[in-house]
Amino acid sequence: MAHKEHNMIVGDLLELDDLHIEVAWASPHLLDREVTGVTSTDLQDPARYLQRGELVLSGLVWWRPDEGQAAMRFANSLRTAEVAALLAGEGTHGTVPPELVEACRRHGVPLLSVPAGTSFRSVTDRVYLRLWGDLQAHAEGQAALPAAARRALTQLLRAQASLDDLLERAVADLGLPECSLTTGSGRVLASSESAPASGSGSAPVPAPAFAPAPFPVRTAAPAFPVGPPGDSPFDGWLLRPHGQPGPTATAMLHGLAELLTPLATRDRATATAQRQTGTRLVELLDSGADAEAEAERALALSGLPPQRQLTAVAARIDGVPATWTAAALAEALHDLPTGRREAPVPFVAAPDGHGGAAALSPAPEDLVAQTLQRALPRLEAGLPGGRRLRVGIGCTVEPAADALRAALVRARFAIDVEPPGAVGRCSRITTLATLLRGVPAEITTEFRRRVLAPLIEHDRANTVSLLDTLDAFLRHSASWSRTAEALHLHVNTVHYRIKRIEELTGRSLLKLEDRLDLWAALRCAPA
């Protein structure tokens, strides 16, 4: 393929006849804007997620005819981010709304239309293929990779060969050590071999295609960044040799990482777009019944399989941005076994409005729980300051907005029902004790103080513990004799102490309701 001498500009999209992209509004000089990347969004104000020079793909899910200023706000957001152009999909509304055309004209944002028959993925692939070609043309004079090897690897990339095949070819042609391509947290994306030789280096041992990648073994062998660094410890790609490379191999590994950079950039743009879609969906689900219809629409456009039950997941990492938590949760869900690495289980994972992240997966609850439990050590190893990734699973429900909303509430509650290092599951909350573990400590501590304050004060001033007596009495189902035996007391002494407990607390241990209150207060751990 011959590449043009200029960098990619907006007008080049009109020459891709198979995509059928047309101009909805643009002046000639605006079509000369240089393109640096592409991202998809259906947020009404996406400015914080956009980079200067990007093409913005939008299905216009956010637009409503009765919201007069929505188009103006969206166009203003694009202008503020200094994007190259807006590509509006016609699949949702049939045509590009005139209000959006006028808004883009007023804000000077080139507007192109993408017909319903053209997928956003095909547009994204073509743009990055072109940007990748420009990068390769720019790198022709560099000596990091021999010209013949670069051409061979370039042909594989253009033919959309698998990353495994590409790494295997690079190792064979360049004499490199076996190597793997991983995410920042060690999830294996591809490997030049089925398993590295024993003790051969830093890369994690790639698992069979049907199993999640294991926790990586860290040694002194270097890792070569592929593309720009990620926004969290879980983002970005790394090229990891399985052994210590020499100076020549090191230079060529840098060259190979550069060759793969456009693919990493495209993957990052896809992940960002999916996260934005997930953010909007979670926001709508949390909004309640008022946003029910819009949430159902967003769910249909989320990429999740239709008519499949979904498992709700929530996660939290204290003291870090919510985007970190969303990235960690996505990394964990990528480990869901599918039988084929090329066909990952689709899911949605995004920051939520509660300081953490939420996810929806079509995998059943048990499989999600097992996968998350296996992934926790790997993900927590990348967190600074000994922070912990806390995860909760709601339940598997029908794909309806009201059911999913309730499942997300349950998932957030389940985060705290298990200690750090274990996945909480709402389906396992079957006792009062497990229910109380999910209640915030600020609530349970105050409840314990209010209910048991007279007994706590008594025990501070006396050698006899009424709290221990009460606990034993309730544990032995209010049996006087068994309580006396457990505490090595006379039954009359137990009667006296229980009467004193009732006087101090104002509650009768003959009443089931009062017994439950006291039992619950005892199960609330003191601060």
Question: Is 140 part of any domain?
Answer: no
318 plus 375 within the same structural domain: yes
Report how many domains make up the chain: 4
Question: Is 136 part of any domain?
Answer: no
Last residue within a domain, chosen from 379, 396, 430: 430
112 plus 151 within the same structural domain: no
Question: Is 337 part of any domain?
Answer: yes
505 plus 366 within the same structural domain: no
Cβ(406)–Cβ(430) under 8 Å? no
Rounded Cα distance between 238 and 183, Å, is 6
Last residue within a domain, chosen from 206, 225, 259: 259
411 plus 466 within the same structural domain: no
384 plus 461 within the same structural domain: no
Cβ(523)–Cβ(433) under 8 Å? yes
Question: Is 435 part of any domain?
Answer: no
Residue 48 has pLDDT above 60, yes or no: yes
Rounded Cα distance between 123 and 4, Å, is 19
The per-residue pLDDT for 277 is: 80
288 plus 423 within the same structural domain: yes
For helices 292-300 and 401-414, what crossing angle results, to 10°? 90
117 plus 184 within the same structural domain: no
Distance of CA 309 to the CA centre of its chain: 19
Question: Is 134 part of any domain?
Answer: no
Which residues have C-beta within 8 Å of that of residue 99, sequence separation ≥ 6?
63, 65, 68, 70, 71
User: 282-312 pLDDT, tens per residue?
Assistant: 988 988 767 788 888 888 878 888 889 999 9
Question: Is 98 part of any domain?
Answer: yes
Rounded Cα distance between 270 and 38, Å, is 9
The 3-class SS string of 223-261 reads CEEECCCCCCCCCCEEEEECCCCCHHHHHHHHHHHHHHH
The least confident of 129-133, 381-385, 456-460 is: 129-133
**Which secondary-structure segment (H or E) carries 37?**
strand 37-40
Write the CATH number for 402: 3.30.70
User: 200-224 pLDDT, tens per residue?
Assistant: 333 333 333 333 333 343 445 688 9
User: 46 versus 21: which is more confidently predicted?
Assistant: 21
Parallel/antiparallel/unpaired status of strands 85-89 and 37-40: unpaired
Last residue within a domain, chosen from 370, 400, 430: 430
165 plus 184 within the same structural domain: yes
Question: Is 247 part of any domain?
Answer: yes
246 plus 289 within the same structural domain: no
Write the CATH number for 475: 1.10.10.2840
Rounded Cα distance between 165 and 396, Å, is 37
Which residues form the domain of 308? 278-430
Confidence of residue 343 (pLDDT cuts 50, 70, 90): low
Distance of CA 339 to the CA centre of its chain: 22
335 plus 196 within the same structural domain: no
| Predicted model pTM | 0.69
The per-residue pLDDT for 262 is: 81
Confidence of residue 423 (pLDDT cuts 50, 70, 90): very high
253 plus 163 within the same structural domain: yes
For helices 480-487 and 491-505, what crossing angle results, to 10°? 100
How confident is the model over 194-203, as a mean pLDDT? Answer: 38
Confidence of residue 340 (pLDDT cuts 50, 70, 90): very low
The per-residue pLDDT for 46 is: 85
Rounded Cα distance between 362 and 397, Å, is 10
317 plus 409 within the same structural domain: yes
Write the CATH number for 14: 3.40.1390.20
User: 137-155 pLDDT, tens per residue?
Assistant: 554 444 478 888 888 888 8
Q: Kindly report the average pLDDT of the chain as a whole number.
A: 85
The per-residue pLDDT for 4 is: 42
